[in-house]
């Protein structure tokens, strides 16, 4: 079966992990610090704080920024639930804002001016153009789980040019992997301090006596391990190669599928580099095509069942017609750095066969 997403791990990655296993630190230590510095340098951010996964990173970002009870936090319905749940974790209310069908990202024109927080998800790796936001809410978090390696006219995604914090996920299908893992970038010293405290039980170190520490806030154990961070630093060296291959494969889909009755994945506007995390097309008869691809040995995916379709969001009031219209037709075709031209040809032939 040709999977929709897959990690690429080579001998260098394995050596890096073995190096840590032979050393003194397994949990958060010097390899986490080195990984954080490498990501901060890459995305041009002042601080990077690693977390145990992308969901914890979002929780940390919402808490560090002071979102809480009484706050209204907007996000897109077309995302993984963690983008919305981070508001609920801190007691804030989620407000879904419909998508722009051209980009499949949140429609910034529809974000209420009175909102307290915004979680802007760079869907599929296409950055939300935050310059277009008419009124800046108190807190802007970019959920860049799909978008490590993407850039905007203001620089790399993660530099927080128009946000307070940016979160990443390093789940195996993401742009790079640490197994499970996440990270938050920010340029604000206080937010960085809050993030570090939140990820380690709310603890602040004291110097006297030498063993002293104080738990000043409610926090969690959301730490990344040095084992994972070593993998992350090694993967980061390959990010350019990964993204270029994803770009090449996306270009081949664009070209080879152009004549079929398929709405191709959204292209980036000029000045933007797309992260190319997934290749989401829109088709009629999506279910029949899904089954046909499975029979042909191809495992597509659907990103995502919209947030408001889930039982736990039954309390949300409103309608999000563009997200529903997109969801009815969405299908993500296989896209990952290990996908060979031959495997992609298999996917394309299966699509041609379906529409012939």
Ligand X SMILES: Cc1ncc(COP(=O)(O)O)c(C=O)c1O
Q: Which residues bind ligand X (CB under 6 A)?
A: 53-55, 79-80, 82-83, 121, 143, 145-146, 169, 171, 182
Distances (CA, A) of 342 to 246, 250, 334, 356: 15, 14, 12, 21
Phi/psi for 10 (5° steps) reads -115, -175
Minimum separation from the CB atom of position 170 to ligand X (A)? 7
Residue closer to ligand X (CB basis): 171 or 196 = 171
Residue closer to ligand X (CB basis): 80 or 253 = 80
Minimum separation from the CB atom of position 81 to ligand X (A)? 8
User: What residue number has its CB nearest to ligand X?
Assistant: 54
Minimum separation from the CB atom of position 116 to ligand X (A)? 20
Minimum separation from the CB atom of position 108 to ligand X (A)? 17
Minimum separation from the CB atom of position 255 to ligand X (A)? 27
Q: What dihedral do alpha carbons 96, 149, 40, 44 form, nearest 10°?
A: -90
Distance from C-alpha of 186 to C-alpha of 301, rounded to nearest angstrom: 32
Residue closer to ligand X (CB basis): 177 or 194 = 177
Residue closer to ligand X (CB basis): 228 or 233 = 228
DSSP state of 92: P
Report strand pairing: 203-205 vs 213-215: antiparallel
Structure tokens at 204: 């602040």
Residue closer to ligand X (CB basis): 31 or 145 = 145
What is the number of other CB atoms lying within 10 angstroms of the CB of residue 218? Answer: 9
Q: Bridge partners of 331?
A: 281
Phi/psi for 138 (5° steps) reads -60, -40
Helices (H), 10-146: 11-21, 30-43, 54-64, 82-89
Minimum separation from the CB atom of position 295 to ligand X (A)? 27
Contact 289, 321 (CB under 8 A): no
Q: Bridge partners of 282?
A: 263, 330
Residue closer to ligand X (CB basis): 84 or 348 = 84
Minimum separation from the CB atom of position 86 to ligand X (A)? 8
Residue closer to ligand X (CB basis): 146 or 336 = 146
């Amino acid at each position: 079966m040709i999977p929709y997403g897959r990690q690429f791990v080579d001998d260098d990655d394995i050596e890096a992990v073995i190096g840590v296993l032979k050393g003194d630190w397994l949990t958060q230590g010097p390899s986490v610090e080195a990984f954080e510095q490498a990501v901060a340098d890459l995305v041009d951010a002042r601080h990077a704080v690693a977390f145990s996964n992308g969901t914890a990173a979002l929780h940390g970002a919402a808490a560090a920024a002071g979102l809480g009870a009484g706050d209204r936090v907007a996000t897109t319905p077309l995302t993984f639930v963690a983008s919305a749940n981070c508001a609920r974790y801190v007691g804030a209310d989620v407000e879904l804002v419909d998508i722009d069908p051209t980009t499949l990202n949140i429609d910034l024109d529809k974000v209420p001016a009175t909102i307290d927080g915004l979680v802007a998800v760079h869907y599929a790796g296409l950055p939300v153009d935050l310059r277009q936001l008419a009124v800046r809410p108190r807190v802007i978090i970019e959920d860049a789980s799909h978008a490590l390696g993407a850039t905007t006219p203001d620089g790399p995604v993660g530099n927080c040019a128009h946000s307070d914090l940016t979160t990443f996920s390093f789940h195996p299908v993401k742009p790079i992997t640490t197994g499970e893992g996440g990270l938050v970038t920010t340029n604000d010293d206080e937010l960085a301090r809050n993030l570090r405290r939140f990820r380690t039980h709310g603890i602040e170190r004291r110097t006297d006596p030498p063993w002293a520490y104080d738990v000043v806030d409610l926090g969690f154990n959301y730490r990344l391990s040095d084992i994972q961070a070593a993998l992350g630093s090694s993967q980061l060296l390959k990010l350019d190669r990964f993204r270029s291959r994803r770009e090449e494969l996306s270009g081949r889909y664009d070209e080879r599928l152009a004549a079929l009755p398929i709405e191709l994945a959204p292209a980036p506007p000029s000045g933007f580099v797309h992260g190319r995390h997934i290749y989401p097309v829109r088709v009629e008869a999506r279910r029949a095509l899904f089954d046909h691809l499975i029979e042909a040995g191809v495992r597509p995916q659907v990103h995502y069942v919209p947030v408001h379709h889930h039982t736990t969001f039954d309390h949300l009031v409103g309608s999000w017609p563009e997200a529903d219209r997109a969801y009815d037709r969405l299908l993500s075709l296989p896209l990952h750095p290990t996908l060979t031209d031959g495997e992609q040809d298999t996917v394309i032939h299966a699509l041609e066969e379906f529409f012939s």
